[in-house]
Amino acid sequence: MSDGRDLSVNSVDHRAAYDARRQEHGLRISQAFKDNQQALSWRRARIADFQTRRLRWLLGRAEASPFWHERLRDINVSSFGLEDLAGLAVLTKREMMDNWPDLITLRGVTTSEAYEFLDTLDEDRYFHETYHLVSSGGSSGEPALFLYDWDGWAGCAATIGRYSARLAQQYPELARPPGPTANVGAGRGSHMTYAMACTFAPAGITPNLIPVGLPIAEIVGRLNLIQPARLTGYPSMLLLLTEEARAGRLTIGPHTVQPSSEPLTPEIREALKSTWDPIILNIWGCSEACCVANSYGNDRGMYINEDFVIVEPVDADNQPVPPGVQSEKVLITNLFNAAQPLIRYELTDRVTVIDEPSPSGLEFARIEDIEGRTDDIFSYGSIRIHPILFRGPLARAPGLLEFQVRQTPDGASIDYLANSDINETELTRSVIKSLRGAGLDAPSVVLQRVDRLERVGVGKLKRFFPLEDHLTRTSPP
């Protein structure tokens, strides 16, 4: 079985093969788009019926995984209902990664092979010919691997465009030809947002992907040349761009802004509105299930894509919380990806279900904008360092389980947990290279393996400590 390297876009000889495969994937999206858009008009009974059928489909496909075959051995798939889901055990990220080769349904793949593939992945590339493999540090700070099959990867893209298409009936800006799009985000094919943008870019069009790790002046310069009509990116970076716009250095006027991958705080939303007054298409996205929820026009909050994912808001003991009450976390069940079945998978996002009718008539469950603190950006004088510059190298380190990064005057100290020996010299070199690429000269990076990491509040893992937090924090008891 091929390891996917024969489709590397770094090879001129195989660029045509990659493009042909990518275009096939685009056709798969086009064929399903009409059905995906019609699902926005479903009533509650049809949503529940569809979820039940897809859940049974997922449980059946999960039988190909040794991990799930054992865990699900006592259930009757053919009669399994939504009400039975709460009886299944919760899957944590640690448990998933400890059992990753046996949890996926693609047999013969090892964790070391997956990390090796991602470590060499600069551009988008298929894994084992038809799969996509991405990594994520996640909200908990624990690196993880996620494998998508052909239809699963197509499902990632299917949940996004349908809201824009429906909104085009109300907003002329969205009905016109889209104009240039720019994405200020991840700069490697191992990140979902980057890989998806490459896979599903229209034929003959190179997506404007601007790595968030570049110096801010270079990002601004590229955006001024592109003049995007649609701007996507991490909310924390979008906030920095509003500051550049108000200072007169960034001279763009996007009519649509699409934040994703981090919480969109009220402060960042207000900064976007006051700077450009765009249509804001907020996305609750994650590597585990791609686009979990979308905002829709001026409707409050975001709509969960219930035809693609089941979301259970729960308290700290995994008990359901009612509408109007903020959860401690959520359990998600991905209904569209059979390559890596995720059933009642724990995410540490806090959500609050909105208990009121939709003003637009949509009957998907609706939640408030995701609560939580956006990862802190480190400032070194005029140099701003986005957390992804630490996350990227750390997430690709085999055996590294969790991490915390504390800013120092000239760099950072990083505490980490691991289940195997880490090549600290190589990892330190990788982080330093990432920081230098963003304009930080001669950064000092110190790694330290620890037995536990500091947690705050109700046990949340705070991943990034800016310098002021680092200097004033107290030691954990």
Can you give the CATH number for the domain in which 140 is found? 3.40.50
Is 34 in the same domain as 75? Answer: yes
58 three-state secondary structure: helix
User: φ and ψ at 316, to 5 degrees?
Assistant: -65, -20
State the average pLDDT over residues 293-310: 93
Whether residue 62 is contained in a domain is answered as: yes
- pLDDT classification of 11: cutoffs 50, 70, 90: low
Rounded to 10 deg, the angle between the 150-167 and 12-38 helix axes is: 60
pLDDT digits (tens, 9 = 90+) for 22-44: 888 887 777 666 677 789 999 99
Whether residue 180 is contained in a domain is answered as: no
Is 35 in the same domain as 78? Answer: yes
Task: Give me the chain's average pLDDT, please.
Answer: 85
Of residues 122 and 85, more confidently modeled: 85
Is 331 in the same domain as 301? Answer: yes
State the average pLDDT over residues 196-220: 84
pTM: 0.78
Whether residue 253 is contained in a domain is answered as: yes
Is 75 in the same domain as 123? Answer: yes
Is 397 in the same domain as 451? Answer: yes
Is 396 in the same domain as 438? Answer: yes
pLDDT digits (tens, 9 = 90+) for 168-177: 777 776 666 6
Is 108 in the same domain as 210? Answer: no
State the average pLDDT over residues 197-203: 81
Where does residue 368 fall: left (phi above 0), alpha (psi -120 to 50 degrees), or beta otherwise? beta
Dmax of the chain from CA atoms? 64
Which of 73-77, 150-154, 298-302, 472-476 has the lowest average pLDDT? 472-476
Whether residue 173 is contained in a domain is answered as: no
Q: What is the pLDDT of residue 12?
A: 55
State the average pLDDT over residues 437-464: 77
Whether residue 178 is contained in a domain is answered as: no
Q: Give the residue numbers spanning the domain of 438.
A: 378-472
Is 351 in the same domain as 451? Answer: no
Is 290 in the same domain as 148? Answer: yes
| Calpha distance 427→400 (Å, rounded) | 11
Is 382 in the same domain as 366? Answer: no
pLDDT digits (tens, 9 = 90+) for 251-287: 999 999 999 877 787 778 888 999 999 989 999 988 8
Q: What is the pLDDT of residue 460?
A: 46
Read off the tokens for 370: 């995701």
Residue type, 422: I
Is 105 in the same domain as 201? Answer: no
pLDDT reading at 189 higher than 70: yes
Whether residue 182 is contained in a domain is answered as: no
Whether residue 57 is contained in a domain is answered as: yes
Q: What is the pLDDT of residue 176?
A: 64
* Number of domains making up the chain: 3
Can you give the CATH number for the domain in which 455 is found? 3.30.300.30
Is 464 in the same domain as 393? Answer: yes
Of residues 122 and 144, more confidently modeled: 144
Whether residue 329 is contained in a domain is answered as: yes
